[in-house]
Amino acid sequence: MASFAILIFIISVNIHMSLAIYKLCAFPTMEYHHCKSIEVGNSNVSCVKVIDSVDCAIKLREGKVDFALFSPEESVLLAKDTNTDLKVIGEVRDKFKVDESTQLSMVAIIRKELSGKFSELRGKKYCHSGVGFSHRLTDHFTTYFERKVVPAQCKSWLTAAEQEVNVLNDFFGDSCRPGVWAQTKSLDRRLKWRYPKLCRLCDSTSQCKYNLDRSNSFEAALQCLTRKSGEVTYVPLHEAKKYFGLFRNSNRQNNADDYVFLCKNETTMPITTEFPCVWGKQPWNYLVTRSDVATDLKALMPDWLTTDNVKDWRSNLRYLLIGRYKSYIHNRAQDPISLSTFLNRGGVDDESNISGCRKSLRWCTLNSVEFEKCNWIGKAASTHGFKPDITCIRGQTILGCLQNIAQNKADIMSIYTEYGYIARRVYNLSTVVFEDNTLDGNYKILAVLKNDNQYIKSFQDMRNKKACFPEYNGLSWLSFINTAKMNDILGKTCADYFFGPSCIPGAYNESFVIPGSNRRPQSMCSICPTPINSTDPCTPSESIDINAMMCLSKGQADFAFVNFHGLLSGGDSKTLNELISPDLYKVMCKNGTIVNGLYVDDDCALSTGINSEVIGRSQSSIDRADIVELLLELDKSFGTIAADEEGGVLRMYDEFKGEKNVLFKDSTVALANSDEDLNYNEVNSYTSMLNNVTDCNNSAHQIILSFHLMLFSILGLFLYQ
């Protein structure tokens, strides 16, 4: 169960007190006024915020944090971090289960006439509680029985999602395994159509679900076992005892004596066994510390969390950490124990139990911070049992990563759609998934003029005038071409030859130019200022939209085409960069009207669309489906919605180590499947623009130019003769 809040403490010395002051770090899910309440009076604790459990782990490693309360899934993830020596000093348990060493234990139950040999389960009717329902009890935990009992197979011609279902279909008979088999909706439907046997024991075979809601899915699985001729199920021990009346002073029910517990060693135990064999154990929430402060905090914590009838800051801390219905459990005589040693889920996390034969997904990263975040995502995916594995590749630049992907040295990366056309036409890459943005995160391309410009009153008037763009073949360049084609102002002229002296960075850079295209005119970079630390005035640099506006502001150009959101401070902020005074400019809307100022609506913009996407190389349909499915699984478990609901093992769209736009853009709220989310206006707007652009070397202008050159050659040959 994910913790209500992950709590972190930083030691600092209070010069007015003899005791150290410990800083408690609260997650976004923690109410601020509750957190501040622990600072009342002579408190030894104060609050500070963190983003997620990974943020907590990093602060623990850096010595900025002393301890935290972690959920089981968070503990599994952090135990993979071998760079930090973490100790467990106590547990937080439910009050009515304080004597139970685990929060939940999973048991396998079969009909008593079966011997217990796993091979004898082949063809038997399987009742499962369901997959894809909960982040608190992951599919990796609830499908451990399947991984242990069903022989692993490698069917490389199937997607990873289908392979999992296929081997179950081959092994079990009529069954019910409800839930989400694949995050890709079309694949999920296809799998349930191909393998209907795994839904035949469900209450609704067409929807592959039980009648009971998800909160009662374990009871539904037990009903499938006893009322629908099921032969094997896998449920929590507490649910089994309740269903069969196995608690003390309870009466047997639901034909309890017809069933036995199945053990990992292929033996059985009577259903009346008080302490049966278990397959997987879900621990309680752990209070975890760094090793160098573990002894001190272990001694302090009982006074803070177990003292009754106190009305000072300790009662507020106790409420914040464990609430009204839980208790802090510790062993005074026991030394703090290493987290990796203490954490035992009964083999659930044994990598050898995870079948599959997929090659790793290679994620290209731009710097050390991205590389570290990528590795944490890889570890988190592993704890949830997602396939394929993630391998992080060190890159240096966006264009360098695009080159790596094109050369099969990496598989994916996230890019701004500013580079979308370049990725497609220069490197032959394509969208894997789109990154659904906040509304303020979508791009909005504007045609900007100075207020005192009285000569340009239409797009046609821009011919042979001075222009500034952020970069060649970027969104602003494409938006102009698209608008020009819609207004029929290019005629037979290639866009490269439409303007006069201009600044269009990247026009001579092979990384931005379509292979095989004709040489661009020198005028495309003739008014570019030489960037600092560069001898090439036509090389794009950071702050490309700001640079284009400065080119206009300093009188070097007559107009500029820019992404409005690239002019804002902090990316998603609504405040213009301090270098830009909106009152000095006006915007030419796509319909040819002119509006004063820069704050215009989307209808005025030349184009709007999605801000970012995950890009990849063209691959087999199987490999592509695996990558899409993995990314959608990550989004489900570590995206915005999951983080808001569960508290956040990892918030993969949020900033990381204080830096923004790490791996994903901060404006991302979810991932959109490029093959299925066809009604997404901002995606359609972007892809339509890409499809409407014609390369310069394919234009009528170039055809005519080539024809003229041919005529001159023939004439020269004739004169020579």
Binding residue numbers: 443
Phi-psi domain of 319 (left: phi exceeds 0; alpha: psi -120 through 50; beta: other): alpha
| 122 class by beta-carbon count within 10 Å (0-12 exposed, 13-18 middle, 19+ buried) | middle
Q: What residue has token string 């009838």?
A: 309
Give the list of residues 6+ apart from residue 555 with CB closer than 8 angstroms, or none: none
CB 72 within 8 A of CB 105: no
CA 660 to chain centre: 15
Annotated binding site for Fe(3+): 443
Residues 554 and 310: their CA atoms lie apart, in Å, by 68
Residue 94 identity: D
Nearest alpha-carbon partner for 2 in 109, 174, 136, 125: 136
Residues 144 and 264: their CA atoms lie apart, in Å, by 11
Q: Is 219 helix (H, G, I), strand (E, B) or coil?
A: helix
CB 591 within 8 A of CB 581: no
Which residues are registered as beta bridge partners of 176? 127
Tally Cβ neighbours within 10 Å of residue 678: 11
Q: Is 549 helix (H, G, I), strand (E, B) or coil?
A: helix
What the block records as the tokens of 50 is 């963190």
Question: What is the DSSP code (8-state) at residue 296?
Answer: H
Instruction: Return the ∠ at Cα 633 (arms to 629 and 634), rounded to 5°.
Output: 120
Tally Cβ neighbours within 10 Å of residue 95: 11
Antiparallel, parallel or unpaired: β 668-673 and 559-563 = unpaired
Sheet with 668-673, strands from edge to edge, namely 390-394, 361-365, 412-416, 612-617, 429-437, 668-673
CB 433 within 8 A of CB 412: no
Tally Cβ neighbours within 10 Å of residue 101: 13
Residues 54 and 8: their CA atoms lie apart, in Å, by 12
Antiparallel, parallel or unpaired: β 361-365 and 390-394 = parallel
Q: What ranges make up the beta strands (E) of 257-317? A: 259-262, 268-270, 280-282, 285-290
Nearest alpha-carbon partner for 449 in 460, 457, 438: 457
Residues 539 and 83: their CA atoms lie apart, in Å, by 41
Residues 74 and 383: their CA atoms lie apart, in Å, by 9
Residues 476 and 71: their CA atoms lie apart, in Å, by 47
SS (H, E, C) 469-528: CCCCCCHHHHHHHHHHHHCCCCCCCCHHHCCCCCECCCCCCCCCCCCCCCCCCHHHHCCC
DSSP string, 163-210: HHHHHHHHHSSS-B--B-S-SSHHHHHHHHHH-GGGGTTSSBTTTTB-
